[in-house]
Structure 1
């Protein structure tokens, strides 16, 4: 039996009505398709050509397989498809010889979007760091391109020894907090930083954490920052070429 869960997000708006505070983000609804046999790439292509199934399977094959792995691992914190699509677009823009870092591999959904964005390119390097060794091994065993790797460990502890990057997807709490300075320091001039999950600020502690993150990013003269009010909310920052 093969089962795929395809997330479909709905943007409910960025703020509570009559309030200046962000509204709690609505998590994606899910469409589940269950089959009594393994699906081949040809099977997926046939499903994508089906009008009724198009909305459910409107993700790249590699991402669909990662979503299947997410289901098997019982992992529930993968990024929304809007975040993944933006991540793929940003990955496609890295220059020849570029390097991409993801903190928090999870089930490999974000990594699959990055791989999709790079397509047939072989001139870039992707490093994803996952704290959970079993999850890291599962994603590593899924069959990654030779230029992509998954490292087991604490990204905040390891980032200083990994060099610099053209794109960083900071997808762990520590990378958005105690490790933020190291993340920004790892950005090359012109490098981009993507951070998601910033819209849920209904809990006081969460509100404080997100507000502090916003102030740190906007207050850093090395960065040009955009706040994107879609999916679970994102910060997209670019490091200036002249600090």
Structure 2
């Protein structure tokens, strides 16, 4: 969720965007919703969705801009689940994707994603990131398929280690970058925007020793 994500498309020619993204962007603008997925993030989601081999999940549908990037990039027929807390937004966005039977938009807390996993790609944008007080981070080991990827966006660049934000250690970002179940890294998308990507690591094989 980007605070000025919808406005970030003002300088992009409509023909440069997938049709589904244009449709969702129109809805976001109509409803004066500023928090859409930025185009830089959207293109990353498009690319990641294109190499998925199983279901895709998303938290925080909004008016479906990020979801549209995912669906546009995914192989045909890939199941995509998105969860939105606001009933009005969920209903409106479900209408936008009514002609895409592989897409389901659920109303409720982000934890509803657990009912439809595991996912090959999971985008945490509206809960489950640990960024806000009371928001428990999602458990990638229970939500991802083996080798699956989790995406946590909207971090500010930091050259420090541990990473900092506004003069303090960025604990949510550190949580994901050092998560024991993930191989994780940070990807810079713009001068003011980075994203954390984590791939679920397989469990270590049991050592076979000789007992004397």
| TM-score when normalising by structure 2 | 0.79
1:159/1:183 contact within 8 Å kept: no
How far residue 29 of structure 1 moved from its aligned partner, in angstroms, is: 6.5
- For residue 129 of structure 2, the aligned residue among 162, 176, 184 is 176
Partner of 2:171: 212
Q: Kindly tell me: are residues 188 and 130 of structure 1, through their superposed partners in 2, closer, same or farther at Cα, counting changes over 3 Å?
A: same
Partner of 1:116: 72
- For residue 186 of structure 2, the aligned residue among 220, 227, 238 is 227
- Aligned partner of residue 163 in structure 1, secondary structure: coil
Partner of 2:57: 101
> Any stretches of 5+ residues in structure 1 without a counterpart?
1-6, 9-26, 32-53
Q: Kindly tell me: are residues 183 and 241 of structure 1, through their superposed partners in 2, closer, same or farther at Cα, counting changes over 3 Å?
A: closer
Partner of 2:87: 133
Q: Distance in 2 between matches of 1:209 and 1:110?
A: 29
Runs of 4+ in 1 over 6 A off after TM superposition: none
Q: Root-mean-square deviation (CA), in Å?
A: 2.6
Alignment deviations for residues 36-58 of structure 1 (CA, whole Å, 9 cap, x no partner): xxxxxxxxxxxxxxxxxx84531
Q: Kindly tell me: are residues 102 and 29 of structure 1, through their superposed partners in 2, closer, same or farther at Cα, counting changes over 3 Å?
A: closer
How far residue 153 of structure 1 moved from its aligned partner, in angstroms, is: 0.5
1:165/1:187 contact within 8 Å kept: yes
Q: Does 1:199 align with 2:147?
A: no
Higher RCO (CA 8 Å, separation ≥ 6 residues)? 1
Q: Distance in 1 between matches of 2:168 and 2:72?
A: 32
> Any stretches of 5+ residues in structure 2 without a counterpart?
159-163, 205-212
Alignment deviations for residues 182-217 of structure 1 (CA, whole Å, 9 cap, x no partner): 34530111000111111178xxx9648971122212
Q: Kindly tell me: are residues 129 and 209 of structure 1, through their superposed partners in 2, closer, same or farther at Cα, counting changes over 3 Å?
A: farther
Q: Which segment is superposed worse, 61-70 or 220-229?
A: 220-229
Alignment of 1:1-243 (within 5 A): 28=8, 30-31=10-11, 55-95=13-53, 98-118=54-74, 121-122=76-77, 124-142=78-96, 143-156=98-111, 158-172=112-126, 174-177=127-130, 178-199=135-156, 207=166, 211-231=170-190, 232-243=193-204
Q: Kindly tell me: are residues 150 and 229 of structure 1, through their superposed partners in 2, closer, same or farther at Cα, counting changes over 3 Å?
A: same
2:81/2:113 contact within 8 Å kept: no
Q: Kindly tell me: are residues 29 and 63 of structure 1, through their superposed partners in 2, closer, same or farther at Cα, counting changes over 3 Å?
A: closer
Partner of 1:50: none
1:226/1:237 contact within 8 Å kept: yes
Q: Distance in 1 between matches of 2:154 and 2:177?
A: 17
